[in-house]
Amino acid sequence: LRANISVIQRETGFVNGLIAVLHDITEQEKLDAERREFVANVSHELRTPLTTMRSYLEALSEGALHDKELAPRFLSVTQYETERMIRLVNDLLNLSKMDSRNYEINANWIDFVKFFNHIIDRFDMMKERDITFKRLLPNKVIFVEVDEDKITQVIDNIISNALKYSPDGGQITFRLKELDGKVEISISDQGIGIPKDNIDRVFQRFYRVDRARTRQLGGTGLGLAIAKEMISAQGGEIWAKSKEGKGTTILFTLPYDPVQEDDWS
Ligand code: ADP
């Protein structure tokens, strides 16, 4: 709130009164500030991989190209940075689509337990480190109406993080619970955790607990922000619980009506 205050003063110097005009500009100012910060963040995020690539390419052109040991290493760095930039730009496009409401929810009734199992299987096959997957999923069919592609992306982002921040030998636990009018999905890891004060901020765009570290792990800082947009577009909620040094659980809900499901089938 901003106040413009005018003082009504007589020639004698006595103050006769005050006029205060109050403007509610906080919302607009906040939006402007957020937009500026976002643009600054995007520029910074793109500049980092670009400057890295420039110095590696320079080194290559100044002779490293003919060094049998250095050349492949330098090329793989530029390749890695290119991949990360592509991910970043894709994430940005996704977010901007969601911001402009220029996207559709393609919801279908799917057997959610089976769908969840498929995604977990995919990560189980691909994972390169010693991390155990534990599934605590109901052994029954639960039909939920969701946009498969979008929920796949949400779950992919959460599992990728769980793997990234897990120690070797750690365990990731997948749960699905039926609650009143919704299903609750959770993914827990035994990784580094998130400090208590930052727990809600991890859903903000570009927020990272440890910038340097997460960038090194290939993150864009947008994964959970995208997940949040996608879950709320489908009427659900997403949040995190964590203990530093012990692990993190990301939970989300989706509307679910077992009665409708019975009618429908
Ligand atoms: P990033 O691409 O950096 O992983 P995200 O939006 O997916 O971006 O996550 C934001 C930040 O939240 C991460 O940089 C990390 O600091 C923290 N975070 C997310 N998931 C976990 C997790 N499972 N364990 C610890 N920290 C996490």
Residue of 155, 222, 224 best suited for mutating to test ligand 1, as the one with most atoms within 8 Å of CB: 224
Give the pLDDT confidence score for residue 227 in this predicted structure: 96
Residue 215's pLDDT band (boundaries 50, 70, 90)? low
- With a threshold of 0.90, tell me whether the complex ipTM lies above it: yes
Give the pLDDT confidence score for residue 260 in this predicted structure: 57
Average pLDDT of every residue of the chain: 90
- Ligand 1 centroid to Cα of residue 74, in Å, is 27
Whether residue 116 has pLDDT greater than 50: yes
- Ligand 1 touching residue 162 (CB < 6 A): yes
- Ligand 1 centroid to Cα of residue 111, in Å, is 28
- Ligand 1 centroid to Cα of residue 207, in Å, is 8
- Ligand 1 centroid to Cα of residue 44, in Å, is 18
Give the pLDDT confidence score for residue 265 in this predicted structure: 47
Whether residue 264 has pLDDT greater than 60: no
Residue 262's pLDDT band (boundaries 50, 70, 90)? low
- Print the SS3 string covering the chain: CEEEEEEEECCCCCEEEEEEEEECCHHHHHHHHHHHHHHHHHHHHHHHHHHHHHHHHHHHHCCHHHCCCHHHHHHHHHHHHHHHHHHHHHHHHHHHHHHCCCCCCCEEEEEHHHHHHHHHHHHHHHCCCCCEEEEECCCCCCEEEEEHHHHHHHHHHHHHHHHHCCCCCCEEEEEEEEECCEEEEEEECCCCCCCHHHCCHHHCCCCCCCHHHHHHCCCCCCHHHHHHHHHHHCCCCEEEEEECCCEEEEEEEEECCHHHHHHHC
Whether residue 50 has pLDDT greater than 50: yes
Return the minimum-mean-pLDDT range out of 153-167, 168-182, 217-231: 217-231
